[in-house]
Amino acid sequence: MLRGRVFKFGNDISTDLIVPGRLAHLRSNLPELAKHVLEDADPTFASRVKPGDFVVGGSNFGLGSSREHAPLVIKMAGVSAVLAKSAARIFFRNAINQGLPVLICDTDKISDGDELEVDLATGQIKDLTNGAELTSGKIPPVMLRILAEGGLIPYVQKYGDIKV
Amino acid sequence: MGKTLAENILSSKSGTDVHAGDIAVVPVDLAFVQDTTGPLTVRQFQASGLKKVSDPGKVALFLDHAAPSPRSELSNDHMLLRSFAAEQKCMIFDVGEGISHQIVAERLADPGQIIIGADSHSVTAGALGAFATGMGSTDVAMGMGLGKTWLRVPETIRVNVNGEFQKGVFAKDLILHVIGKIGADGATYKSIEFGGDTIDNMTISGRLTIANMAVEAGAKVGLFPSDRTTRRYLLSRGRGQHYKSIQPDPDAKYESVISIDASELEPTVSQPHTVDNVATAGKIKGKKISQVFIGTCTNGRVEDFEVAASILRHKKVHPGVRLLIGPASREVLLDSMKARFIQALVEAGGTVLPPGCAACLGVHQGVLGDGEACLSTANRNFKGRMGNPESFIYLASPATAAASALAGEIVDPREVM
């Protein structure tokens, strides 16, 4: 069971807003890059986020570039899961490969600063602040297995192959 | 049940009869990275414990995003990629060769292949009938190491385009129109399959422009049939023997079908800060711009510079405009020089950037100032994309870009063509 506070963002949070191209030179220095996570969407986010917190977006979260550094630095910031109404394909796959859960649900019912409780096993989400209860969409079984191992690298280390 | 292009390719490659919603494991014909995603790929490859790539002839590294490198950190990333290429004996295309997607089209992609690239615009090779898609660094690392990947077979949106473009209207206007119609997430997880007589008559250059931007509607792939035009292109590239016809079945099952009359389209522009925020050039006419960028994997080919040169030859760009020219590859640059398109653009006041991604993504070359607006032929206008979140990016065809460079403001190119 995950529990934490909500940082609410709007629709169309692009990978340029999460880790902009102008910081491309920091991609081999991840701790430094992580200090700028989501900077162009909310300059105060990196200094306020605490381990266990949730990033909650609207529709099409993570659209744009294939840069896996986007979910990677969100995870490094201590975020336990991303919730959104919908997520861009590559971001979704990258997040799972990095062991960062992405839950698709009606995030209109969640407000900035709310306390959430998320059960990854059942996909049940409880907003402890306003009492709303949500269920997240299904993740394909192959992605659940990758997530269960903590990402694609530990998955391949364990199985030595891609099995679906 | 009839199959779409995506279902046909994935069934053939996986050796099983797959339909939308199924998961397929497929061999990878080409796995590639670029210089801002590749270093993480190398580190993930090493972390996985895999020692050797599965087939060095199917692995390529491209140094195109920071080319030449503006910073020591990025130079060190380039060194890491060069040493990985040397150790693995795989292909590497160094600074100055050009953008991965253009080189993949020129030299590597064949119809019916599975191509995965650690760059979202890897969809570009869909123009040649390849199932080409963007993935992250880790997926591509494992594709390189295992020689295969898993894919969910996508549902398909079929886009039928018929009729002739009006003068001044191009493939770019068509794809901007489609994205405006279905939205920036209108095709998420899906295949967009293009067909119709406009597509049959379209060059590979135009098809590359359209396939390139499929991801801007969220699509996994933007697929074109492999036909006579594909065959001619492959023959001209010395790969004629790699041609095979790939078509959707006549009774293919589509999630939805969109029909477009090409003759009704007008020069179209994406406005800040999302690609689906489209308007006709005529409607937003008069918007002041301080930079025009003609280039990128979307519109940095010889045909694009030909159109731009036809508008700018013997003229001067507006004194308030910086015109940047970014050839998609060394070969594009050389061919555009031979045809004197580059001559015309430089005489008009243009600055030629090295073949590569150039000003597209804010790493270097042509970063905008606070409050400045750029009209670009690229594929993305997100806030901050060109290096400054306080600036504004409009997207359009090379014709609209060239005409607007003359005027110092956005105009409908038909006014000067």
Chain B residues inside the 8 Å CB shell of A142: 23, 150
**How many residue pairs from chains A and B have C-beta atoms closer than 8 A?**
146
Which residue of chain B is at minimal alpha-carbon distance from A39?
B389
CATH of the domain at B79: 3.30.499.10
Chain B residues inside the 8 Å CB shell of A89: 188-189, 218, 220
Residue B351 phi, psi (nearest 5): -115, 125
Which A residues 104-143 touch B at CB under 8 Å?
140, 142
- Answer whether residue B1 is part of any domain: no
Per-residue pLDDT at B25 exceeds 90: yes
pTM over 0.90: yes
Q: Does A94 touch chain B (CB under 8 A)?
A: yes
pLDDT in tens, A123-145: 999 999 999 999 998 888 999 99
Identify the pLDDT of residue A139.
86
Chain B residues inside the 8 Å CB shell of A93: 135-136, 139
- Residues B407, B272 share a domain: yes
Q: Does B110 touch chain A (CB under 8 A)?
A: no
User: For the residues A21-27, what does the mean pLDDT come to?
Assistant: 95
Which residue of chain B is at minimal alpha-carbon distance from A18?
B384
- Residues B193, B102 share a domain: no
- The domain covering A2-136 belongs, at the CATH homologous superfamily level, to Aconitase, domain 4 (3.20.19.10)
Subunit contact B139:A26, Cβ cutoff 8 A = no
- Domain hosting B58: range is 22-152
- Residues B401, B288 share a domain: yes
Q: Does B25 touch chain A (CB under 8 A)?
A: yes
Which B residues 113-152 touch A at CB under 8 Å?
117-120, 122, 134-139, 142, 145-146, 148-150, 152
- Residues B374, B386 share a domain: yes
Per-residue pLDDT at B362 exceeds 90: yes
pLDDT in tens, B129-150: 999 999 999 999 999 999 999 9
Q: Kindly provide the ipTM of the predicted complex, given to two decimals.
A: 0.97
Identify the pLDDT of residue A164.
78
Subunit contact B138:A97, Cβ cutoff 8 A = yes
- Residues B283, B229 share a domain: no
- Residues B253, B282 share a domain: no
- Residues B343, B274 share a domain: yes
pLDDT in tens, B375-414: 999 999 999 999 999 999 999 999 999 999 999 999 999 9
| CA–CA gap between residue A163 and residue B304 (Å, rounded) | 44
Give the number of domains in chain B: 3
pLDDT in tens, A51-82: 999 999 999 999 999 999 999 999 999 999 99
Cα radius of gyration rounded to whole Å, chain A: 15
First to last CA, chain B: 48
Identify the pLDDT of residue B1.
84
Distance between B163 CA and the closest CA of chain A, angstroms: 31
- Residues B407, B342 share a domain: yes
Which A residues 14-43 touch B at CB under 8 Å?
14, 16-17, 20-22, 24-29, 40
Give percent of chain B with pLDDT exceeding 90: 100
Identify the pLDDT of residue A58.
98
Identify the pLDDT of residue A138.
84
Subunit contact A21:B146, Cβ cutoff 8 A = no
- Answer whether residue B357 is part of any domain: yes
Subunit contact B142:A26, Cβ cutoff 8 A = no
pLDDT in tens, B217-256: 999 999 999 999 999 999 999 999 999 999 999 999 999 9
Which B residues 197-236 touch A at CB under 8 Å?
218, 220
The one-character DSSP state at A38 is T
- Residues B282, B256 share a domain: no
User: For the residues B198-221, what does the mean pLDDT come to?
Assistant: 98
Which residue of chain A is at minimal alpha-carbon distance from B73?
A25
Distance between B274 CA and the closest CA of chain A, angstroms: 8
Chain A residues inside the 8 Å CB shell of B66: 24-25
pLDDT in tens, B374-385: 999 999 999 999
| CA–CA gap between residue B251 and residue A114 (Å, rounded) | 50
- Residues B273, B256 share a domain: no
- Residues B411, B273 share a domain: yes
Tokens 């209108």 — which residue? B186
Identify the pLDDT of residue A97.
98
Which B residues 348-387 touch A at CB under 8 Å?
361-363, 367, 380, 382-385, 387
Per-residue pLDDT band at A163 (split at 50, 70, 90): confident
CATH of the domain at B233: 3.40.1060.10
* Partner-chain residue, chosen from A60, A69, A162, that has the shortest CB–CB distance to B25: A162
Chain B residues inside the 8 Å CB shell of A22: 362-363, 367, 384, 387-388
Query: Strands across the sheet with B322-326, in order?
Result: B278-280, B268-270, B392-395, B373-376, B291-295, B322-326, B350-352
Which residue of chain A is at minimal alpha-carbon distance from B42?
A28
- Residues B215, B298 share a domain: no
Chain A residues inside the 8 Å CB shell of B383: 14, 16-17, 40
pLDDT in tens, A90-115: 999 999 999 999 999 999 999 999 99
Per-residue pLDDT at B8 exceeds 90: yes
Among A54, A83, A66, A56, residue whose Cα is nearest residue A16: A66
Chain A residues inside the 8 Å CB shell of B74: 24-25
Secondary-structure percent of chain A, ordered helix, strand, coil, rounded to 5:
35, 20, 50
Per-residue pLDDT at A146 exceeds 90: yes
Identify the pLDDT of residue B246.
98
| CA–CA gap between residue B242 and residue B327 (Å, rounded) | 27
